[in-house]
Structure 1
Amino acid sequence: MSVQARFRAALLDAAAPVPAGLLDGAANPAGRRYAVYRNNVIVSLIEALATAFPLVEKLIGPGTFKRMATIFVRANPPDSPLMMHYGSGLPAFLEGFEPLAHVAYLPDAARLDLGMRRSYHAADSVPLTGATLAAIPQGDLGDARLPLAPATVLIPSNWPLHDIWRYNFETGAPKPRAIPQGVLITRPEFDPAPHALGPADTAWFA
């Protein structure tokens, strides 16, 4: 294993020894400095997850979220320097995370958080107009395809996912009903907006 690989691996494993040969500017062993850096890396990744998954954190509380996130980040370091993409594997991780298995809708909540972030960072697009449709020759209409705007995201769910989101983020929202709800995320202005869909609507849209 290369020096760089040992350095990186030890950052994610609190029980791993400080890689040999690390020196500070005075040529002294840099063990304490490495320990501080290792802690800062984990804390920064946990904070990034908390920012990216506000619904998940709200549902399980900051303390439980931090403990869960610590396990996740040690096993799933970033694979891109763009932190806006970090955490894409959290929904699948939560599906197999036994300590939170009793919160069965949590993976879908993570997918909703992830979908809102993807919609926010998606490319802009030109809205379809009536004039655009009118310009299509009548004989070609049967073969025409209407592409979705890049900011459009569909989250199917067997849980009242939209109601859960509203109850946690909208003042005075009613308690979630015992119904399945998909969520359609659009970005009509600058911020993503989630919309509730019934099972039939979700299947049609998919």
Structure 2
Amino acid sequence: MSEAEFRAALLDSARAVPEGLIDPQGRPAGKRFAVYRNNVAVGLTEALEAGFPVLRRLVGAEFFTAMAGVFLRAHPPQSRIMMLYGAAMPEFLAQFAPVAGLPYLPDVARLELALRQSYHAADRPAVAAARLADLPPEDFLAARLGLAPALRLVCSDWPIHAIWRANTGGGDARPPVIRPESVVVLRPEFDPAPHLLGPGADAFIAALLAGAR
């Protein structure tokens, strides 16, 4: 039995228990493996539920659990840090046929990922206006300001900000107007928050993120 075979069986309950597994007394350990396999699936599913609460609300709890089972088999964890798990969800949703009729879901997942990444991003103190004012003209013109590590930009052809607000208790319960929306995620203190951008602001922030001066 290879490590790859063991991992595949661990993530897929339809697979047979790997041969050769025994308990400390030398007895077959198929039942123990089944319990462990179930615990792994439950743990990974709960990590996805915690990371994508709006996505779960949009598709329903039962569907989300079934979808998570497909996702975890296609995208097993690559890190022990569960806060990172689910990074492939937007791409997965874009190819997942059962949600083809909900084309905004990948971008909703991108927004939820951005919020999680912002929450765990490094701290960096803001530059005080007085410090900039004290710079000599030649230094001021040569200065380059960086954006906060917690800032994230998500641009979409869908009203992802309105969808997010409607499903987190902060927006209109009526169906949102179908339109493109760009969102910047900021974390001024402890909790990140998405902010809807006006026309042109997304291009400006994208240029700053790309290093434009």
The two structures share one fold, judged by TM-score above 0.5: yes
Partners of 1:10 and 1:17 within 8 A in 2: yes
1:197 and 2:191 are equivalent in the alignment: no
| TM-superposed deviation, 1:6 | 2.8
Partners of 1:153 and 1:185 within 8 A in 2: yes
Name 2:128's counterpart in structure 1.
129
Partners of 1:180 and 1:199 within 8 A in 2: no
How far apart, in 1, do the equivalents of 2:48 and 2:152 lie?
A: 20
Partners of 1:119 and 1:152 within 8 A in 2: yes
Q: What TM-score do the two structures reach when normalised by structure 2?
A: 0.90
The aligned amino acid for 1:50 is E
1:65/1:130 CA distance change after superposition, 3 Å = same
1:22 and 2:21 are equivalent in the alignment: yes
The aligned amino acid for 2:110 is R
SS in 2 for 1:195: strand
SS in 1 for 2:184: strand
How far apart, in 2, do the equivalents of 1:199 and 1:164 lie?
A: 19
Name 1:169's counterpart in structure 2.
168
How far apart, in 2, do the equivalents of 1:188 and 1:141 lie?
A: 25
In structure 1, the gaps of 5 or more residues are none
The aligned amino acid for 1:94 is L
Name 2:209's counterpart in structure 1.
none
How far apart, in 2, do the equivalents of 1:157 and 1:43 lie?
A: 32
1:199/1:88 CA distance change after superposition, 3 Å = farther
Q: What TM-score do the two structures reach when normalised by structure 1?
A: 0.93
1:174/1:37 CA distance change after superposition, 3 Å = closer
Identity rate, percent = 53
**Structure 1 residues 168-177 or 114-123, which shifts more?**
168-177
1:156 and 2:155 are equivalent in the alignment: yes
In structure 2, the gaps of 5 or more residues are 207-213
How far apart, in 2, do the equivalents of 1:183 and 1:92 lie?
A: 19
How far apart, in 2, do the equivalents of 1:91 and 1:56 lie?
A: 11
Please report the RMSD computed on the Cα atoms of aligned residues, expressed in angstroms.
Answer: 1.5
The aligned amino acid for 1:177 is V
Partners of 1:123 and 1:150 within 8 A in 2: yes
Name 1:182's counterpart in structure 2.
182
How far apart, in 1, do the equivalents of 2:7 and 2:120 lie?
A: 29
Partners of 1:180 and 1:198 within 8 A in 2: no
